[in-house]
C-alpha cells in the first residue's frame, strides 16, 4: 500500500467521489456546446482560414513571397518550425518522463498536454512542407528508390535526420495519447444514450472491458511507451539543434546546443500547457483537479528549465570570448548590440529574467501572474529561435554580403494562421474528448484527495 506523507498537499480538492470525477469530465461532452465555445472556435476558425489562404498563396506563387533574401535564406519558416516542435515537447515530458518519475500531479494535465503535443507537432511539420516550394514532390524527403524519379536523399544532412526524428516522435506520441484515451472513451461509451455517439465512442474504445487483465496490459504498455518516448524527447530537439550546430556558422556551431535545445523546448512547452490549462480549468470548471499546487509544480519546472537555458546562454556568451575566435565573438557582440539587439533583449528578458520571479512563492502560486508569465515565455522562446537564426546569418564571414531580413505579411499570416489552426484543433479536442485522464485520476483519489487525506490523519 502506498503511503503519502502528511506534508504533501492534496492533488484533488474537496470531497470528490469516483462518480463526481466521471461527471465532471464527461459532463461537458454530453451537454450541448456552450456559447463561449462556439464564439471561440469561430474566431480561431477564421484565423485558420486566413492562414490557409496565405499558405495557398505562398504555394501558388513561390517562397519568394516571404521576406527571405540571399543572405537570410532561413527566417520565420524555420523559427516557427522550431518553436512549434519545442512546444510539442511538454506533452511527452509530462506523460512519459513524469510517469517514470511517478509524479502523480501529472494526471491532471497529461491528457491535454499530450493533445497539445500532437497538434503542435502537426503545425511544426507543416513548415518544412511549405518551405519546399514544390510541395507536390514532398515525398522526396523519404529515401525512395531512384525509379520514383528522385535521387537518394542525403543521409549526411541533419535535415533528413529531422524527418525521421519528428515522424517517429509523432507516431509514438500519438500512440501514447491514444492508449491513455481508451479506458476514458469506454467510460463515455457506457454513459452515452444516443445510438450514434455511443457507436462512435464504442469504436474508439477498442472494446475495452475494464477487467483486471486489461488494466495490467494498459499499465505495462504505458511504461514501455514511456521508456521509448523519453529518449525520443531528447532525440527530437537534439536533432533539431543539429540542423544548426553541425554547420560552421558562428553562433550556430556550438556543442551545448543539443541539451540546451531540449531544455528550452520543455521550458516553452510547459509555458504553453499552462497558458491553455489556466483557461481550460476555469471554463470547464476543473478547479478541483487542476489547482494552485499543480500550477506551482509547473512553475517550478519553468524556473528550472528557464535557468538551464539561462546558464546555456551565458556559457555560449562566455565561450565566444574565451575561444578567441573573432568570428564567434563578433556573432555574439552583434547579437546584443547589432541591428537585431532588440530581439536579443526581448529573449533575455522573457526567458531568463522574468522566470526568476517565480522564486517568490506568492508569485508562483498566483494564477494571474502565471498566466502573464507564460505568455512572456511563449514570446521569449519564439525570439530565441529568431535570434539564433536570423541574427547569426544576417552577418557572417563576408561583410560584403551582409543583409537584413524584413518579414512580409505572408510571413506573419502563415505564423498567425498556424496559431489559429492549433487553437481550433485544441478546442475540438476540449469539446469531444475527455480532457482529464479520468480513470487515472481515480487511482489517486483515495491517497491524494483532500477529504480522504484529512480523514486518514484523524
Partner 1 sequence: MNFVIPGKVKTLSFVLMAIGVIAMVWGFLQGDGEHGEHHQRWWSNMLVNGFYFVAISLGALFFYTLQYAAEVGWSAQFKRIFEAMFSYLPIGLVIVLVLLITGRLGMHHTWHWMDQSLYVEGGENYDKIIAGKGAYFSDAFFWLRTVIYVGLFIWFANWFRKKSLLEDKEGGTELHVKQFKRSAIFLVCFAVFSSTLAWDWLMSIDTHWFSTMYGWYVFSGMWVTCMIFATILTLWLRKRGHLPHINDSHVHDLTKWMFAISMLWAYLWFCQFMLIWYANIPEEVQYYTTRFFDGHGGLSPYLFPLVMMFFINFALPFYILIARDAKRNSNLIVGVGLLIFCAHFVDVYLLVIPGTIHMEQYHGIEFWEWGMFAGFFGLFLLVVMKALSKAPLIPTNHPFLEESEHHEI
Instruction: Tell me which residues touch partner 1 (CB under 8 A).
Output: 1-8, 102, 231, 234, 238, 242, 245-248, 253-259, 307-308, 311-312, 315-316, 319, 322-325
Nearer to partner 1, 114 or 243 (CB): 243
Least CB distance from residue 112 to partner 1, whole Å? 24
Ramachandran sector of residue 377 (left: φ over 0; alpha: ψ -120 to 50; beta: rest): alpha
Least CB distance from residue 7 to partner 1, whole Å? 5
Nearer to partner 1, 245 or 438 (CB): 245
Give the whole-angstrom CA distance, residue 59 versus residue 54: 9
Nearer to partner 1, 4 or 190 (CB): 4
Distances (CA, A) of 174 to 91, 126, 225, 274: 11, 17, 11, 21
Least CB distance from residue 251 to partner 1, whole Å? 12
Cell of residue 17, nine digits: 467521489
Bridge partners for 12 per DSSP:
449
Residue with cell 461509451: 189
- Of 409, 383, 420, 395, nearest to 66 (Cα)? 409
Instruction: Yes or no: say if 222 and 179 are a contact pair by the CB < 8 Å rule.
Output: yes
Distances (CA, A) of 399 to 61, 326, 328, 329, 330: 31, 14, 14, 15, 12
Residues 6+ apart with CB under 8 A from 154: 160
Nearer to partner 1, 242 or 348 (CB): 242
Cell of residue 315, nine digits: 556559457
Nearer to partner 1, 85 or 125 (CB): 85
Nearer to partner 1, 197 or 259 (CB): 259
Least CB distance from residue 365 to partner 1, whole Å? 15
Least CB distance from residue 246 to partner 1, whole Å? 4
Least CB distance from residue 320 to partner 1, whole Å? 9
Amino acid at each position: 500500500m502506498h503511503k503519502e506523507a502528511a506534508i504533501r498537499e492534496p492533488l484533488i480538492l474537496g470531497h470528490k467521489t469516483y462518480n463526481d470525477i466521471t461527471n465532471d469530465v464527461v459532463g461537458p461532452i454530453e451537454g450541448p456546446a456552450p456559447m463561449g465555445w462556439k464564439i471561440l472556435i469561430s474566431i480561431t476558425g477564421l484565423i485558420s482560414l486566413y492562414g490557409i489562404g496565405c499558405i495557398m498563396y505562398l504555394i501558388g506563387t513561390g517562397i519568394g513571397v516571404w521576406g527571405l533574401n540571399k543572405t537570410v535564406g532561413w527566417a520565420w519558416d524555420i523559427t516557427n518550425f522550431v518553436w512549434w516542435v519545442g512546444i510539442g515537447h511538454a506533452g511527452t515530458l509530462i506523460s512519459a518522463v513524469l510517469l517514470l518519475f511517478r509524479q502523480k500531479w501529472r494526471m491532471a494535465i497529461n491528457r491535454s498536454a499530450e493533445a497539445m503535443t500532437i497538434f503542435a507537432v502537426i503545425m511544426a511539420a507543416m513548415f518544412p512542407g511549405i518551405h519546399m516550394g514544390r510541395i507536390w514532390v514532398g515525398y522526396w524527403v523519404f529515401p525512395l528508390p531512384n525509379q520514383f524519379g528522385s535521387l537518394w536523399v542525403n543521409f549526411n544532412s541533419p535535415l533528413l535526420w529531422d524527418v525521421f526524428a519528428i515522424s517517429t516522435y509523432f507516431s509514438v506520441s500519438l500512440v501514447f495519447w491514444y492508449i491513455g484515451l481508451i479506458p476514458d472513451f469506454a467510460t463515455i461509451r457506457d454513459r452515452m444514450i444516443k445510438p450514434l455517439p455511443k457507436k462512435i465512442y464504442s469504436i474508439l474504445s477498442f472494446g475495452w472491458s475494464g477487467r483486471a487483465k486489461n488494466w495490467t496490459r494498459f499499465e505495462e504498455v504505458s511504461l514501455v511507451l514511456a521508456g521509448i518516448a523519453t529518449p525520443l524527447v531528447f532525440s527530437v530537439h537534439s536533432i533539431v539543434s543539429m540542423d544548426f550546430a553541425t554547420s560552421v556558422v558562428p553562433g550556430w556551431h556550438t556543442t551545448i546546443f543539443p541539451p540546451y535545445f531540449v531544455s528550452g523546448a520543455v521550458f516553452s512547452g510547459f509555458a504553453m500547457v499552462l497558458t491553455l490549462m489556466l483557461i481550460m480549468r476555469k471554463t470547464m470548471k476543473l478547479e478541483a483537479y487542476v489547482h494552485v499546487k499543480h500550477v506551482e509544480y509547473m512553475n517550478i519546472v519553468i524556473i528550472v528549465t528557464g535557468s538551464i537555458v539561462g546558464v546555456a546562454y551565458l556559457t555560449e556568451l562566455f565561450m565566444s570570448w574565451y575561444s578567441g575566435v573573432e568570428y564567434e565573438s563578433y556573432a555574439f557582440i552583434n547579437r546584443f548590440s547589432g541591428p537585431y539587439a532588440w530581439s536579443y533583449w526581448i529573449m533575455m528578458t522573457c526567458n531568463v529574467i522574468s522566470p526568476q520571479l517565480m522564486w517568490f512563492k506568492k508569485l508562483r502560486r498566483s494564477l494571474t501572474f502565471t498566466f502573464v508569465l507564460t505568455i512572456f515565455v511563449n514570446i521569449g522562446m519564439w525570439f530565441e529561435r529568431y535570434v539564433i537564426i536570423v541574427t547569426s546569418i544576417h552577418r557572417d564571414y563576408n561583410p560584403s554580403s551582409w543583409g537584413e531580413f524584413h518579414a512580409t505579411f505572408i510571413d506573419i499570416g502563415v505564423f498567425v494562421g498556424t496559431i489559429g489552426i492549433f487553437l481550433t484543433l485544441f478546442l475540438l479536442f476540449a469539446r469531444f474528448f475527455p480532457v482529464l485522464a479520468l480513470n487515472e485520476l481515480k487511482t489517486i483519489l483515495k491517497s491524494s484527495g483532500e477529504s480522504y487525506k484529512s480523514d486518514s490523519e484523524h
